[in-house]
Amino acid sequence: MFATLSDRLTATFKSLRGKGRLTEADVDATVREIRRALLDADVALPVVREFTSRIRERATGAEVQQNLNPAQQVVKIVNEELVAILGGETRRLRFSKNPPTVIMLAGLQGAGKTTLAGKLGRHLKQNGNRPLLVACDLQRPNAVNQLQITGERAGVDVFAPEPGNGVGDPVSVARQGLEHARHHHYDVVVVDTAGRTGVDAEMMQQAIDIRAAVTPDEVLFVLDAMVGQDAVATAEAFRDGVGFDGVVLTKLDGDARGGAALSVRQVTGQPVMFASTGEKLDDFELFHPDRMASRILDMGDVLSLIEQAEKAFDADQAQAMAAKFAADEDFTLDDFLQQLNAVRNMGSLKKMLGMLPGMAQMRQQLDAFDEREFDRIEAMVRSMTPLERRQPRIMNGSRRARVAAGCGQSTSAVNDMLERFGQAQKMMRSLRNGMAGGTGIPGMPGMGGGGASKKQKARVAAAKGKKGKSGNPAKRAQQEQAAAAKPAALPGSAFGLPDPEKGFDPADLNLPKGFDKFLGK
């Protein structure tokens, strides 16, 4: 969603690089470009004015003028101001001291409240809660049925005593749902309410009545981030009519300009708490203002990436893989398939790569990437026998043709996959051998290993007090004679001392005069 804004801001900051000192004209030009980028992104005009005035004030102040790298300091100021308008700190749910905690969802029709109720229920369940979804949207056709299906997919119970489609009293259902949760020991109740295509008095009154009936601990306003400035106007109407404690942004995976996300916190005064980033139930996350600002400025969001990896990768599988690595066992296609599935469980690969710093420069390559390639590779591997997966080297021509026919791919595609897997196997083997030999990672400069150059090896030998053999025959002969003239270590133990069982003469040790009296008999 923020791709266009990110590109504009990144291009603006490129003009500042390499400048040892910023003039007032540089600051004016930078602020002007930032203002244009925000207005093009459909950010509310009052927010743009306040944001740019704060940047101008700080960029022309002492904190930049006295800095060694003022250009980087300006980027830092923009990042901090972005974090401020996005909310400053991460706002989490407030749970009631006396369960159940009641969370009410409000918003316009089409904003995604019902789907969000399932996502929120799944999120709460994964965090150790026992949520109950209450179907109070009795106005929209099939809204109750949709919530039941969504709750079943999320693994969350749904309370729906009325069929909906215009039948039933939503206020009464909300009261019954709260009583049902208390009697059956649910600790969180999520109330899904009805919306309209626009703000009207009937919808507002119904939401006010439901709020009075269940006294929610949190009222979340569900905002469609693709609507633009109309979304901000709607948020203000709900704030003045019903009131809410936080905002949930939906459809952040869309291609809208994203102005609502940057405006709603500043305009309404209420924080953004959650973000829905896709259609799947797992495409739901806490809204972190600092991380979102980093994404907008193309600085990446590595923390979110790590959190997703921790959820997707099984600790037992990782431990088993480490043990296999330590036991000098080869990386097999079964292991590869296991790791591939773990990566797929993290979500969209494009989205994950987009969380890495500097990936905005590769956006075209990311957009061109076909994620169905994972399905093709999995089909190839699953078309092999267990023996072929464990020992890919037995894959001759006829076996490859059979696998290609089994998975619906060409033989060249199977050959290409096996070739890339062979390269991965060699890399894993080299890494293991390098670590086992105590030489670090092979081929990495400064890390030792098989990639060390002759000069590096010569320096290591010199540090150990060893000299390599000369290429000059006369000099080499002198080195060999000098080595032969050196006294050999006394036979016996590993330290060059004679075997104590056979006895030894202290004179052989060449000790200082008078020292033999300390050796005893």
Q: Which helix (H) or strand (E) holds 368?
A: helix 363-368
Domain residue limits, the chain: 3-85, 101-297, 307-434
CATH 3.30.530.20 fits 307-434, yes or no: no
Distance CA 10, CA 517 (A): 80
Q: Measured over all CA atoms, what is the biggest interatomic distance in the chain, rounded to whole angstroms?
A: 112
Two structure tokens written together for 394: 């037995």
Two structure tokens written together for 457: 């090896």
- Closest C-alpha among 295, 288, 257 to residue 43: 257
- Closest C-alpha among 262, 301, 285, 268 to residue 81: 262
Q: Which residues fall within 8 angstroms of residue 191, CB to CB, at 6 or more apart?
A: 102, 103, 104, 105, 134, 136, 174, 177, 210, 214, 216
Q: Are 335 and 324 in contact (CB under 8 A)?
A: yes
CATH 1.20.120.140 fits 3-85, yes or no: yes
Distance CA 205, CA 119 (A): 26
Distance CA 153, CA 149 (A): 6
- Closest C-alpha among 139, 462, 484, 88 to residue 291: 88
Specify the residue for token string 């305009």. Answer: 267
Other CB atoms within 10 A of residue 112 CB: 23
Other CB atoms within 10 A of residue 67 CB: 14
pLDDT tens for residues 359-383? 555 656 666 666 677 788 888 988 9
Distance CA 58, CA 436 (A): 54
Q: Which residues fall within 8 angstroms of residue 35, CB to CB, at 6 or more apart?
A: 48, 52
> What is the average per-residue pLDDT within 164-186?
91
Q: What is the pLDDT of residue 271?
A: 87
Confidence of residue 259 (pLDDT cuts 50, 70, 90): confident
Distance CA 37, CA 13 (A): 12
Reduce the DSSP state of residue 61 to 3 states and report it: coil
Confidence of residue 306 (pLDDT cuts 50, 70, 90): low
Residues 467-474: contacts with CB within 8 Å, 24+ apart? none
- In DSSP notation, 453-496 reads -HHHHHHHHHHTT--PPPSSHHHHHHHHHHHHHSPPPPSSSTTS
Q: Are 24 and 284 in contact (CB under 8 A)?
A: no
Q: Which helix (H) or strand (E) holds 94?
A: none
Q: Are 5 and 257 in contact (CB under 8 A)?
A: yes
Give the residue with greater pLDDT, 137 vs 485: 137
Binding-site residue set for GTP:
107-114, 192-196, 250-253
pLDDT tens for residues 94-109? 999 888 999 999 888 8
Distance CA 116, CA 39 (A): 29
pLDDT tops 80 at residue 197: no
Two structure tokens written together for 61: 């102040």
> What is the average per-residue pLDDT within 196-222?
85
For the whole model, what pTM was predicted? 0.62
Least confident of 161-170, 199-208, 460-469: 460-469
Distance CA 430, CA 434 (A): 6
pLDDT tens for residues 323-357? 666 665 667 888 878 777 777 766 666 666 666 66
Q: Which helix (H) or strand (E) holds 49?
A: helix 45-59
CATH of 101-297, one of 3.40.50.300, 3.10.580.10, 3.10.250.10, 3.40.390.10: 3.40.50.300
Distances (CA, A) of 118 to 103, 123, 131, 143, 244: 13, 9, 10, 13, 20
Other CB atoms within 10 A of residue 311 CB: 12
